[in-house]
Amino acid sequence: MNDFLPISRQEMLDRGWHYVDFVYITGDAYVDHPSFGAAIITRVLENAGFKVGVISQPDWKSNEDFMKFGKPRYGFFITSGNIDSMVAHYTVALKKRSTDAYTHGGKFGKRPDRAVIVYSKKVREIYGDIPIIIGGLEASLRRFAHYDYWDDKVRQSILFDSGADLISYGMGEKQTVQIAEKLKKNIPVSQIRDVLGTVYSVPTTETPYEGIECPSFKNVSTSKKEYAKAARIQLDEHDFVRGKLIKQRHGDRMLIQNPPMPPLTTEELDAVYALPFTRRIHPSYTEGVPGISEVEFSIAHNRGCFGACNFCSLAFHQGRYVTSRSKQSIIEEAKKITEMPNFKGYINDIGGPTANFRTTSCEKQKEHGLCKGKKCLAPTPCKALKVDHTEYLDILRSVRALPKIKKVFIRSGIRYDYMLEDKNEDFMHELIKYHISGQIKVAPEHCSATVLDYMGKPHIEVYKKFSEKFFGITKKIGKEQYIVPYFMSSHPGCTLKDAIKLAEFMKKEGIRPNQVQDFYPTPGTVSTCMFYTGLDPYTMKEVYVAKTPHDKALQRALLQYFLPQNRKLVEEAYRKAGINPKRSKR
């Protein structure tokens, strides 16, 4: 395996370089592992022949760290890291977290709030009009005017807040190389307007004729109906087959989003994962980086998710179109992992956004794209759904048969509703027998059909069917294994009565969760649009939203009804809902 990319001027000189073509700034610690977006993009640039220097978690209160390599020949690529910096810093209750999983030693405070904006402004202050391209999850999800939960207001596109020249949205490999090649050819960054998967701005007088215009920043800031209309357009057009160019006015500038870049093909994905990642944290760190612990011995086999739950931002980032790596590519990565000095025989995961997706959900989408405003799996599976676990099962069998491998786990999310549609139950049997460690984590999220419809999830009857099959198979193979179901409180559309219904369902099923996920309104989701506007963007009908901290606390307490400290909140919830607790099933 090759060395890390340089993180200092001395490391640059040690390579015999006197300059770098690009500086890549990330809000995460430098981990050269393909589960870290920064590692993938920098290796892709390196593979394309560019000299890249990495600045990890720079001190934004001074200029020194940003000047490690001097002025790069072509420009800066900037990301906050693997997750949004605000999510990294704050709980859903807006309380500061005490640790950061993507920082050396798990220390908090090594990146600023709104890292992309802060880093970009610092680079602009130091280097003037040098090209700045922002990307990663934080920039990708904030590419249009968006509701910001932390400010509780609509903010303009991050392109304007940061002062960057371009946004590379989505996974970014192809557009990153295309942008780099154009800058190498001395094409001014202001003239790079034809790269798919990018966002730029022009004076309104230069607005392209083609495409579709969504409500302006001014309109979505003052009208929740306009915001809902804009959100639907942005979500519907996020399809590389049929998606249109989108325009959104911000004052005297027009924000232009080019259609999405097509996802990498199997051959292209294989090539990316064959790049010379060290799979380690940078040796300059004396302590570990917690974020690598679960993924160090994991393998990503797919991208995209046609499940597209309404509260998940993945559909607006990676997209709904599923692509996957070849079996041989996965086998080769598994073999590399077995040669790592600290490998103990366990592959932690062969997964992705949804572990048991390998192909598109139907043949139609290859030519026509995914259906607008419809789900492939919810509330019931589409009749055109194509279900097949054969290839995935073959890969799992082959990897677990490799020398030095004791066990292969699947820890990524499993869509049990998709799995139940497979008439061949071999995958489910082998999943339960070989690929879980005594328990399987799944996400029914709720039991109310109304709430599940707002979530874009299947109804609870599907979970019950899965649970019955799971325990039947577990008993048959002579093991004692469990299901750990995840539930969410305070999702838009969930009333107190719905929350009480869920609490009573959990009591009946003997479910006592140690942790409960309160709905977190992150940019770029249908659910966040509903949270802010109180409207379903697909029907424009009003949606109940628990917004105040106390209303959210009531729903959260109901999901942990068994805790003595929640008793008063639970009783208050019943009173407010007009239900007598003594007569309820609780």
The pTM of this model reads: 0.95
The angle, 0 to 180 degrees and rounded to 10, between the axes of the packed helices 567-577 and 496-509 is: 130
Count of all residues that appear for the chain in the document: 586
User: CA-to-CA distance for 574 and 562, rounded, in angstroms?
Assistant: 15
pLDDT of 306 reads: 94
Q: List Cα–Cα distances, 82 to 37, 38, 271, in angstroms.
A: 6, 8, 21
Q: What are phi and psi of 254, to 5 degrees?
A: -110, 120
**Beta 253-257 vs 298-300: how paired, if at all?**
unpaired
Is residue 504 within 8 Å of 573, Cβ to Cβ? no
Q: Which of 534, 553, 552, 536 is nearest to 544 (CA)?
A: 534
pLDDT of 582 reads: 62
Beta strands in 297-338 (DSSP E): 298-300, 302-303, 323-324
pLDDT of 515 reads: 81
pLDDT of 586 reads: 46
pLDDT of 516 reads: 85
Neighbours of 315 (CB within 10 A): 24
pLDDT of 357 reads: 96
pLDDT of 514 reads: 85
Residues of the chain with pLDDT under 50: 1-2, 586
User: CA-to-CA distance for 113 and 141, rounded, in angstroms?
Assistant: 16
Cis peptide bond prior to 379, omega within 30° of 0 = yes
User: CA-to-CA distance for 112 and 115, rounded, in angstroms?
Assistant: 5
Is residue 298 within 8 Å of 350, Cβ to Cβ? yes
Is residue 319 within 8 Å of 304, Cβ to Cβ? yes
- What would the two tokens of residue 508 be? 């009946």
Handedness of CA 44, 355, 321, 391 (dihedral sign): positive
| pLDDT tens string 429-476 | 999 999 998 999 999 999 999 999 999 999 999 999 999 999 999 999
Considering the segment(s) 9-195 as one domain, its CATH architecture is 3-Layer(aba) Sandwich (3.40)
pLDDT of 580 reads: 77
Domain boundaries, the chain: 9-195, 471-586
